[in-house]
Amino acid sequence: MTKPRPFRAFSSMPISTGIATAATLTLLGGCTVGPDYAGPPAVRTPDAFSSLREVAGRGGQTDNPYAATGARELTADELALWWKVFNDPALDSLVARALRGNLDLRLAQARVREARALRGIERSNAFPRANAGAGYSRFRGSDNLGRGAESGGNGASNLFDIGLDASWEIDVFGGVRRAVQAADADLDAAYEARRDVVVTLVAEVARNYAELRGAQRRVEVTLQAVQAQRDTLELTRSLSAAGLAAELAVEQSAAQLASREAALPRLHVSVREASHRLAVLLGEEPGALLDELAPHQAIPTPPAEVPVGIPSELLRRRPDIRQAERAIAAASARVGVATADLFPKFSLTGAFGFQSDDAGSLIDMNSRYYSIGPAVRWNIFDAGSVRQRIAAANAREEAAIIAYEQGVYLAFEEVENSIVRFIQEQQRRRSLESAATASRRALALATDRYRSGIGDFLEVLDAQRAVYAFDDEIVQSQTAVTTSLISLYKALGGGWNPSIANGDTPAESPSTDAPPTLPDASPGTAPAVAAGDALKT
């Protein structure tokens, strides 16, 4: 039986020839197939937001006090820290804690780390791979093959093996480079997705906080109405006992009191729901903020001036648009990855090690073996599957371009709608305040008429109902003005700073030490927006 023969180099090519071949293939690696990404598609952007153009065009009319009175762009800090314009320390604290503890933000950061690791995987494909191994086997050949007895003894022998094998696929046509480009774009998109979470998170915290304060204020207004209605009921009962009022008036007053009291449970539910939502946004249990937020405070008041910048800035500021642009870049690079499969794959392989039938002579120069040489692999027939993959990659790139264009126009729509809501809600609030003033005068007149015996008590109840309804609507409108401004800041991409390094949040950046330059307004002491200063482009 013969002993197993040690591994021998399968190529007679000299080492110098193999190295020269590898160098030649490496030089050919400058070729990169597939399209070179030239940037996002050109999307037509207006010079100014149409809602502001309309306001500016009618600024001189008496029925439109919301004229754009100037033009300037938002600074990075103004937009990154927009919630500070409300001058509300409680809101500032909630936002800072949400940026530290929100679970959606932590999830987005985990996806950034995943994208970074996937990029490392793609980049590693550009480098050689090596594997080390060692083994031992006991071998016996078959006697029936006529070679088993040649090994002598019992026909068995040992094989000790230790070695290293390596391979390097040379990126001649740029498939690996295109894959790395796609992974780079994916990583950028993950950063933008995280920034988009920051934008949404800050807006959600501010909106729920404003709604909570609005609901608390509505509770106060309703309690005042309930107390006034109780006083009215006591008055009518006294008048009825004295024979100066009908029993019908007493029942009508009692019914209106019960109607006012019935509104309180829903308002308490709104307060609790907003508090619960804020706690979850901060990454805490739903009831964690109940005591902290229980004291009533004023609804956050918008500043007197709200610059909104120019439409073209949206393409730079909004992280969802930036993410869509990165998706185009990734899809373009993957067209090159698919195209590279049309061409042959060149690789350089090699092995070096020691083999022996005796452990004592294993690490011996006579026991060494090696091999080195180039290899080529070319899929010359696949029934068109490669070309179909290229077509699919092209379709995905086209879809990414369409999604980008759609995202741009949706962003413009969101800003335009927010501007309209912000302006028109202020107009509505002013009208409600005028109506409330008139209804209070009507209530005073109806009360005097009733006490004089020339009026009907139903007039008093109707006037009371109108006063309390307008007071409640004013509070709702004040809340809507604030939440519409919050929506506007969100639509503008506020909440992060384009100059901040990847992964940072506004709360983590040095710029947070300085407040924004927007004018502040003390909550509850000034109108939401002064006439003529609603918005600035």
pLDDT in tens, 98-109: 999 999 999 999
Please answer whether residues 403 and 324 qualify as being in contact, where contact means their C-beta atoms are separated by less than 8 angstroms.
Answer: yes
Same domain for 461 and 391:
yes
Q: Tell me what percent of the residues of the chain surpass a pLDDT of 70.
A: 80
Rounded to 5 degrees, φ, ψ at 163 are -170, 180
Which of 311 and 272 is assigned the larger pLDDT?
272
**Tens digits of residue pLDDT in 21-79:** 555 545 555 578 888 998 888 888 877 787 776 655 554 443 444 433 334 566 777 78
Q: Is the pTM value of this prediction over 0.85?
A: no
- Per DSSP, the residues of 474-524 read HHHHHHHHHHHHHHHHHHTTTTS-TTSPTT--GGGSGGGGS--SSPP--TT
Residues 226 and 338 grouped into a single domain: yes
Which of 35-39, 288-292, 361-365, 455-459: highest mean pLDDT?
288-292
Mean model confidence pLDDT for the chain: 80
Backbone angles phi, psi at 489, to 5 degrees: -60, -40
Q: Which of 92-96, 147-151, 416-420, 511-515 has the lowest mean pLDDT?
A: 511-515
Residue 101 and residue 17 in one domain: no
Exposure on the CB side of residue 324, measured as CA atoms within 13 A: 23
Q: Which residue has the higher pLDDT, 405 or 494?
A: 405
The pLDDT of residue 93 is above 90: yes
Ordered DSSP codes for 103-167: HHHHHHHHHHHHHHHHHHHHHHTTS-EEEEEEEEEEEE--GGGT-GGGG-TTSEEEEEEEEEEEE
Structure confidence by residue, pLDDT tens digits, 347-383? 889 999 898 888 888 888 888 888 888 888 888 888 7
Residue 358 — φ and ψ, nearest 5°? -135, 130
Judge if 150 and 91 occupy the same domain: no
pLDDT-based confidence at 127, cuts 50/70/90? confident
Whether residue 282 sits in one domain with residue 191: yes
- What is the number of domains present in the chain? 2
pLDDT at position 11 over 70: no
Domain presence at residue 394: yes
For residue 162, give its domain range. Answer: 1-30+131-170+344-377
Closest CA to 73 of 526, 532, 517: 517
Any domain includes 526: no
**Together in a domain, 97 and 138:** no
